[in-house]
Structure 1
Amino acid sequence: MLVAYLLVAYFFIPEIWIHRDAGRIGEFGPMVTTTEQDIPGDPINVGLVGSKEDVLRAFASAGWDPADKITLRTSAEIGLSVMLDRPDLDAPVSALLFEGRKQDLAFEKAVGKSADERHHVRFWLTRSTGADGRPLWLGSASFDRGVGFSHDTGQITHHIAPDVDAERGLIIGDLQKAGQLSSTYEIPGIGATKTGRNGGGDPYFSDGKAMIGVLRGLATP
């Protein structure tokens, strides 16, 4: 039974969704992530201007932890965290692709006693820069509301809360409270939607914008 489940959930059904959702990526334009099976994932809804060191320092100051990479050890640790209801502050996040690449950085903020629920964001370094010449990082932020089975494939996954704009606001707000932002501005994202669906089949809604925060560098007063 286990072998049959693995074959169906991780091989056969994803192939069906790849063909079904092939045209959906075009609906959102370039501002949406994809799974490794090329299924549309979470929307790009946040960004930062600053060096990698600026980003790491800002999230540390705001009380967020960098997420571990997925390995056999970290996968076992997050599983035990959920089953035993114990903390895993740097639990791994799954890989999503943007512009054909996996995330460069990921951060999370714990909620409750385990990794079952958490705030989290992935960031990709882009070729664009801010007005000050520092790199632009684009990110996808969402709230993991619990572990379960994918609505589309049956794979084990975190389910996200539908209001992805709220998570965007939390991240920008936390960075502002920590004194890490000098300014913010908006850019177009996926466009307003009430019927979004990510790679796990979770519904989401958004005003379709991405909020960009300009980080204070070491020399910024």
Structure 2
Amino acid sequence: MAVSKDTARDAVTDPDVPQNNGPAEPAVPQRAGGQTPQEPEHSRPDSRKARWGTRWATVVAVLQRLLYVVITAAVGWAVYFFLLARLARGPEQVWVFLPVWLIAAYAFLPRVHKILSSLYLPNYFIGRARTGDGVLGDPVNLAVVGPADELRTAMLTAGWIEADPVTPSTAWRTLSATLLGRSYPQSPVSALYVFGNKQDMAFQREIDGNPRKRHHVRFWKCPEGWMLPGGFAVDWVGAGTYDKSVGLSLFTFQITHKIADGTDEERDFIIGTLQTANAVESVHVIRHFSSGYHHRNGGGDSIRTDGHLPIIDLRPHGQRDSAPAL
């Protein structure tokens, strides 16, 4: 393990951890006996203009939801029409499975998940990335202090390769490389979302000269002034996992990579490569950043984590020696 549990310290009590305890709690106003406190703003009567604005915003939101539901229902009807109605005519209609799978996997089921996840998942940071359908994805298991150019240089120096963006061309190249056993070191990774944004950069290490198996990590830039729960200021959060094979998503049946459940081991491997490249000033661990848990990611793959979050403080590029990359 790159970050030894024997030496990892609780970041809450570590004076060297880059942290910000946040603003002091506001003092409770002291009032003379018998004085009635002023109504808080949220309980005061709204003005006529404010009420109309709120109602109009509600109407627009409801119409948007209804339109999304209608489109989803239409896609579901198309699945029924192509599959059940045609299969009833005889086994020679088995060819309809392909269009039905495409419609269900890439249109109907993602829309259903989008609707449901918007209802039951909070729209704020909870230590998990999310898929484009809103489903919980990989655990956020890294944090980094340092600018973008230093992070990119550190990863490249440590032997990682930056992933290409997803385009029809790169998607086809990934598919053909996977099926034919060819190398594609810059193979793109799918989009996952933190802070409502997809990853700002992603890096990988191909295994056995094929994108079917690979180490990979995504990084998201933290919003200005944002801090981790507990008041720790960082510049980036990351999610590192290992792709062990290619298969179908458990939730949408889309073609996707299947990840290994040992996300902690992958997290520590990433840190180890950076330390070997002498790109790390220090690593401090927020122990029990979240409770350790077993769950599934956005593709339905099992994941497990101890809940610890290492904070990597990058060494400025000019202070690194010539340690070889892995």
Q: Is the 8 A contact 1:128 1:136 kept in 2?
A: no
- Distance of 1:18 and 1:189 partners within structure 2: 28
CA distance in 2, matches of 1:210, 1:49: 13
CA positional deviation for 1:220: 3.9
Letter aligned with residue 182 of structure 1: E
TM-score, with structure 1 as normaliser: 0.90
Unaligned regions of 5+ residues in structure 2, if any? 1-95, 228-232, 321-326
CA distance in 2, matches of 1:24, 1:167: 29
Amino acid aligned to 1:158 = H
SS at match of 1:115: strand
TM-score by length of 2: 0.62
Q: 1:32–1:190: 8 Å Cα contact kept in structure 2?
A: no
Q: After TM superposition, give the deviation of residue 56 of structure 1 in Å.
A: 1.0
Q: What residue is the counterpart of 2:67 in the other structure?
A: none
User: 2:266 matched to 1:167?
Assistant: yes
The question of 1:108 aligning with 2:218 is answered no
Alpha-carbon distance in structure 2 between the residues aligned to 1:71 and 1:14? 20
Q: Which amino acid aligns with 1:142?
A: T
Structure 1 counterpart of 2:239, from 140, 159, 174:
140
**Percent of aligned positions that are identical:** 35
Question: Could you tell me how far apart the structure 1 residues matched to 2:200 and 2:134 are?
Answer: 18
Q: Structure 2 CA distance, aligned partners of 1:162 and 1:175? A: 22
- Summarize the alignment of residues 111-190 of structure 1 with structure 2, pairs less than 5 Å apart: 111-126=207-222, 127-128=224-225, 136-187=235-286, 189-190=289-290
Is the Cα–Cα contact under 8 Å of residues 292 and 306 in structure 2 kept in the other structure? yes
In structure 2, what residue type is equivalent to 1:116?
Answer: R
How far apart, in 1, do the equivalents of 2:285 and 2:301 lie? 25
Corresponding residue SS for 1:116: strand
Which is greater in Rg? 2
* 1:202 and 2:298 aligned: no
The answer as to whether partners of 2:186 and 2:204 remain within 8 angstroms in 1 is: yes
8 Å CA contact 2:140–2:238 kept in 1: the answer is: yes
The CA RMSD over aligned residues, in Å, is 2.3
State the shift of 1:21 in Å. Answer: 4.9
Aligned residues: 217
Q: Once the 2 structures are TM-superposed, how far is the Cα of residue 7 of structure 1 from its aligned partner?
A: 0.9
Letter of the 2:272 partner, please give it.
G
Q: Determine the C-alpha separation between the residues in 2 that align with 1:156 and 1:214.
A: 36
Cα deviations across residues 168-196 of structure 1 (Å, max 9, x unaligned)? 000000000110001011235443102x1
Select the structure with the greater relative contact order (CA < 8 A; seq sep ≥ 6): 1
Deviates more, 1:134-143 or 1:168-177: 134-143
**5+ long unaligned stretches in structure 1:** none
Aligned with 1:53 (options 119, 134, 149): 149
Matched, 1:32 2:128: yes
- 266, 270, 293: which one pairs with 1:193? 293
Separation of aligned partners in 2, 1:191 and 1:121:
22
User: Which is further off, 168-177 or 201-210?
Assistant: 201-210
Corresponding residue SS for 1:214: strand
Give the whole-Å Cα distance in 2 for the aligned partners of 1:191 and 1:156: 31
CA distance in 1, matches of 2:207, 2:299: 21
The Cα offsets for residues 120-162 of structure 1, whole Å up to 9 and x where unpaired, read as: 00000113589xxx96110011000011111121100000000
Deviation digits for residues 72-115 of structure 1, max 9, x if unmatched?
11111111110110110000000000010010010001111210
Task: Give the CA deviation at 1:23.
Answer: 6.8
Q: Aligned partners of 1:177, 1:52: CA distance in 2, in Å?
A: 20
Q: Could you say which structure has the higher strand fraction?
A: 1
Q: Hey, what's the Cα distance between the residues in 1 that align with 2:167 and 2:319? A: 38
Asked if 1:78 is matched to 2:174, the reply is: yes
C-alpha displacement of 1:24: 6.5
